[in-house]
Structure 1
Amino acid sequence: MPYRQPTAAGVRALLQGLTALALCLALAWGPAPAVTFDPGALASYARQHYGAKAGRAVESWQAMLAQAAGLDEQEKLRMVNGFWNNALIGGEDISIWGQVDYWATPLQSLAKGAGDCEDYVIGKYFSLLHLGVAPEKLRFVYVRARIGSQSIAHMVLGYYPQPQAEPLVLDSLIDRIQPAHNRPDLTPVFSFNAQGVYVPGGRRSSVDGIGRWRDLLSRMRSEGFQP
């Protein structure tokens, strides 16, 4: 899947945006968000606004969620990760949306059948919240990914069974979910969730700033998602 080598300005913008996302998670969803929706209404919205193909993609997503609902947490991770990695083709926002940085809703990503790294993470994150995984176990993780001779800006979803545990990595580049120590190609920069921003070494910083996250949540609500 294609990725661009980020400029210094682009990295700074991404860092600022991700920090803002953490704040808005806390402000807009509170400490224990849940994601609910009416399956029929959501698929109908997708067909009406994004076309028949989008409606079928949303129905497939809902079928996966229904199948995963009764499974243990590890199996939920596996099913959600596999679904989103297969549902989207990796690309860049500028080619998919005509914007340098755009955070797509899960419905929009499914309608396009494409997304960049944060779109995979957003889809997986909200899927797992819907399945009842505690939000404090999930973190958006900003990393440097080594691909050949390049080191690129990348985002993965981290699953922390305990606050200080080694995370499992849900990645759009590799289908297999692995513990972090098995991914030497990824160098963590920081991670975040509604509780704060975490940097290597265990320190946690408070979150500040406002970014695109509220707009994403607003668009999700207009599509039929309910926090």
Structure 2
Amino acid sequence: MYSKFRIVAITSIIVCSVSVFYAYAKPKLNLNKLLQYVGVKYDNTAQKRVKAWRNIVDTSQGLTDKQKLEKVNRFFNLFDFVNDIDHWGKEDYWATPIEFIGTKAGDCEDFSVAKYFTLLELGVPIEKLRLTYVKAVKLNQFHMVLAYYPKPKSIPMILDNIDGKIKPAHKRKDLIPIFSFNGQKLWLNKQKGKGQVVGGSERIDNWDNLSKRYQLDEFME
């Protein structure tokens, strides 16, 4: 029979071997392939923006959530706001992060979506992130922001392209929450930081369409 020590040792070897296997087996983004695609579809300045984006993803993995939020929010808020009809020739178009970075422009949904997917890549748990539709009081129009929840029932921090400083929702009195969602659920918001689950995010057609279009698989090694 194996001694307890030997069983522990063998188990440790197996765990380490499996971990190493998955570390090597995990697909990696082929940056050159992505840059070639972006260069053909857009231009060389778009390639530079993609490099800067991927540099953030590659160098920010070990940062705290707060640092990740600040870095990603600051990067994308450098982009230009352009209405969908002027930019895409459509009344309501949700761009993928690559389309947004490629053109360096978009509307509030595009800012929020790019931040959302980038933070997911940086390891921020999906349950902490919600794309949130609000009423922008001063602008008297609907608007989208990205909300980060440190804890499930806490007041979220708001990442916004209108106000570049990340603030807790209760300090954004210019925003009235309507509904929010992520890749899993859809919430109907009644108060700042709170909401009632009313279904899955696939109920939102624009989100469902975007999720199907944004696939990095074709750029993986």
Q: Does the alignment reach a TM-score above 0.5? A: yes
Q: Which residue of 1 aligns with 2:198?
A: 205
Q: Secondary structure at the match of 1:142?
A: strand
Choose from 116, 125, 140 the match for 1:134.
Answer: 125
State the TM-score, normalizing by the size of structure 1: 0.77
> Do 1:160 and 1:168's aligned partners in 2 also have CA atoms closer than 8 Å?
yes
Note the alpha carbon deviations across 1:154-182, whole angstroms, 9 max, x for none: 00000001111100000010111000111
State the TM-score, normalizing by the size of structure 2: 0.79
Taking structure 1 as reference, are residues 190 and 214 closer, same or farther at Cα in structure 2, changes over 3 Å only?
Answer: closer
> Do 1:45 and 1:223's aligned partners in 2 also have CA atoms closer than 8 Å?
no
Taking structure 1 as reference, are residues 178 and 215 closer, same or farther at Cα in structure 2, changes over 3 Å only?
Answer: same
Q: Which residue of 1 aligns with 2:66?
A: 74
Q: Offset at 1:67?
A: 2.5
Identical counterparts, % of pairs: 39
Q: Secondary structure at the match of 2:190?
A: coil
Taking structure 1 as reference, are residues 129 and 223 closer, same or farther at Cα in structure 2, changes over 3 Å only?
Answer: same
Q: Which residue of 1 aligns with 2:215?
A: 221
- The whole-number CA distance in structure 1 between the counterparts of 2:30 and 2:45 is 19
**Which amino acid is the alignment partner of residue 73 of structure 2?**
N
**Which amino acid is the alignment partner of residue 168 of structure 2?**
P
Q: Which residue of 1 aligns with 2:97?
A: 106
Identify unmatched segments of 5+ residues in structure 2: 1-26
- The whole-number CA distance in structure 1 between the counterparts of 2:197 and 2:212 is 28
- The whole-number CA distance in structure 2 between the counterparts of 1:103 and 1:187 is 22
Note the alpha carbon deviations across 1:206-225, whole angstroms, 9 max, x for none: 23636133432333227846
Q: Give the aligned CA root-mean-square deviation in angstroms.
A: 2.1
Note the alpha carbon deviations across 1:65-114, whole angstroms, 9 max, x for none: 2222221111000000000001x101100000111111111111111111
Identify unmatched segments of 5+ residues in structure 1: 1-34
Q: Secondary structure at the match of 2:152?
A: coil
> Do 2:33 and 2:219's aligned partners in 1 also have CA atoms closer than 8 Å?
no
